Structure 1
Amino acid sequence: MNLSTLVRTSLPHLPPLHSTHSTRDNVTENVAIEARNVNFSVNTRQGKIFPILKDCSIRIPSGQLWMLLGPNGCGKSTLLKILAGLLTPTSGNLFVRRPKSYVFQNPDHQVVMPTVEADVAFGLGRSNLTNAEVRSRVLKALDAVGMSEYLQRPVQTLSGGQKQRVAIAGALAEACKVLLLDELTTFLDESDQIGVIKSVQNLLDISGDVTALWVTHRLEELEYADGAVYMEDGKVVMHGDAASMSKFIKAKQSSYISHINS
C-alpha cells in the first residue's frame, strides 16, 4: 500500500551527476532523490529546540539501491520519513521522484488485507484500471519479488520476510519509482533477511528505473548496495560507493576498538 506522496520543494535545475558504478546496464544518471541542507528540530518540554538533523545533503541516482547507515539515534529513519513526506523539515530543499512509497519496519503496520492478492491490489482500488489490468499488475509485482505462488495465500500464514515482500509488491503494483525502506530486516531471521534484500535487487534489475533507499544498521547488507550514506549525530558523514563505505565503516570500528583497548 502506498502512502500519499508529498514533495516539499522541487529542484528543477540539477547539476550533472557523477554516479557511482552500478552493475545494471540500463541505469541512467538521473537523480531520483536529493536533499540539500535539510534540518529537522523538535521542541522539548522545557521549551528548548533540540536538533535531530543538521544540514543533511544526499544525492542518489535513479535505478540504484542505496543504503542509509549509522548508529542508533543518528537520524537516519527521521531523514527517510522526511523524504517520504511523513515529517516536514525545519529547513532545506528536497526532491524525490514520484510516485514514491514508504515501507514500514514492521510489515504488520502495512500488510492488512486478508489475502496476498487483496493486499497488493489495495492501492489500485481508486484507479481507473479494469479488474483484468489490476490482476495483471498484481501478478507482475508478486513475480518481481518472488511471491507469485502466494497469490491466494492468507496474509496471516506468511512469515515476516514474506509480508515485507508483499508490502514491496504493493508499491511496485502502483508503479512507484522510489522505494523508501525503513530497516526491513530488523525483525527477520537470516533466511528472510536475504530473501527480502534479493527481492529488492531483483525488482530494480527488472524495472531499470526504480530507486530504493534502505535504512539499516547491518553492515553486512552493504554488499548488496550500489552506494551508501553514513550518518552520525544527525549529520551526513560520508556519501559514496558501497566498497568505499565499507572500508570507511570498518576503519571507524577498528579505531574505536583500539581506543577502548588503549
Structure 2
Amino acid sequence: MTNKDEPSRHLQRRRLRGENAMNLGNLIHSSLPRLAPARSNSSFRDNGCENAAAIEARNVNFSISTRQGATVPILTDCSLTVPSGQLWMLLGPNGCGKSTLLRILAGLLTPTNGKVYVKRPKNYVFQNPDHQVVMPTVEADVAFGLGKSGFTSMEVRSKVLKALDAVGMSDYMQRPIQTLSGGQKQRVAIAGALAEACKVLLLDELTTFLDESDQIGVIRAVKNCLEKSEEVTALWVTHRLEELEYADGAIYMEDGKVIKRGDPMRIMNFIRAKQSSYSNQINS
C-alpha cells in the first residue's frame, strides 16, 4: 500500500465509530455468507424486551458456511441482558464466540436468527487502538466524529474537553498521537465515542496488549465514564479474571453458548473452579 493510500485506509477504520460501524462492518465481512436477518430493534422493543436494559440479546445464533458447503455454528441460543448505566464483562476461553457476539451487538455481523436490542447511539472500540485512533493530535482525534454534526468550533471543543476529562486525558489535548502509550490511545478512543454522545460502549479486549499500569488506567477510565453519566453502559470482552473486580456483572461463555451470568465474584469463582478441575484432570 502506498503512502497516498494511507489516509483513506485510516478514514475507513475510523468510520467504524458509532452508527457507521454497520455499513463498513458489512463491507469487511462481505466474504461471509448472506444470513437471515435478526428481528429489528423496533420489533424487539415493541414486545417489551427493552425494559431497563441497554443491551439485550435473546436466543442469538450465528453460523458460517465452509467452502465445502458445510454449516459451522459459532453461537448457539445466546441470551444476555446488561442493565443501563452498568459495566458488565464477557469472558470465556479463546474461540468461544465472545468477540463474535460483541460484533453482532455492534451491528458488524448479522445473526442467523434471534433478537438483539442495543440502545443507540452505540460505539465499538477495537482491541488495537491503532486501528481506531488515527488523527495527528488527541484533540483532532476525539473531534473527528463531530465534524459533520453542525456544531460550532466552541461546541466541538467543549464536547472534546468533557470527553477527555471523563477518561482522565484532558491535559493531553495537544499531544501528538504517536507520543501516547497504548493505554492512553485506548482512552482517547473511548473519549471519541463519548464525544459523540454514545449510550453504549462495546469494548473488545481493550487491555490485551497493555502493561499493568495502562490496563488499570483504561479500566478506571471506563468506570469513571459510567459514574459521570448514568446514561452510559459498557460491555467489556476480556480474558483477565482480575478485571472482574471492576464489573457490576459478568457473563461466561463456552463453545458458543452463554453458560453463566450474574455477580462478578460468583463468575470468577466458577471459572477458577473449572480451571482447577481441568488442572487436576491433566495432572492425574
Q: TM-score, normalization: structure 1?
A: 0.92
- Residue 18 of structure 2 is matched in structure 1 by 3
Inter-partner Cα distance in structure 1 for 2:250 and 2:39: 23
**How far apart in 2 are the matches of 1:3 and 1:87?**
15
- What letter matches 1:188 in structure 2? L
Letter in 2 for 1:31: A
What aligned pairs does 1:245-256 form with structure 2 within 5 A after superposition? 245-256=267-278
For residue 247 of structure 1, report the CA deviation from its aligned partner: 1.4
Corresponding residue number in structure 2 for 1:231: 253
TM-score by length of 2: 0.85
Give the aligned residue type for 1:14.
G
2:138 paired residue among 107, 116, 119 = 116
Question: 5+ unaligned residues in a row in structure 1: which ranges?
Answer: 18-29
Deviation at residue 47 of structure 1 after TM alignment: 1.0
The Cα shift of 1:3 comes to 3.3
Q: Please report how far the alpha carbon of residue 259 of structure 1 lies from its aligned counterpart in structure 2 after TM superposition.
A: 1.6
Partner of 1:23: none
Q: Indicate if the aligned counterparts of 2:78 and 2:257 stay in contact, CA closer than 8 A.
A: yes
State percent identity of aligned pairs: 74
- Number of residue pairs aligned between Structure 1 and Structure 2: 250
Structure 2: distance between partners of 1:123 and 1:67: 26
Q: How far apart, CA to CA, are the structure 1 residues paired with 2:19 and 2:194?
A: 15
Written as runs of structure 1 = structure 2, the 5 A alignment for 1:14-33 is 14=48, 30-33=52-55
Q: Aligned equivalents of 2:111 and 2:268: distance in 1?
A: 29
* Aligned position for 2:263: 241
- Structure 2 SS opposite 1:3: coil
> Matches of residues 93-242 of structure 1 in structure 2 within 5 Å?
93-242=115-264
- Report the aligned-residue RMSD: 1.4
Per-residue deviation, residues 10-35 of structure 1 (Å, max 9, x unmatched): 22233697xxxxxxxxxxxx100000
- Quote how far apart the aligned CAs of 1:62 are: 0.3
Higher helix share: 2
Look up the SS of the partner of 1:228 in the other structure.
strand
Q: 1:110 to 1:8 in 2, by over 3 A?
A: farther
Aligned 8 A contact 1:120 1:173 in 2: yes
Number of the residue aligned with 2:106:
84
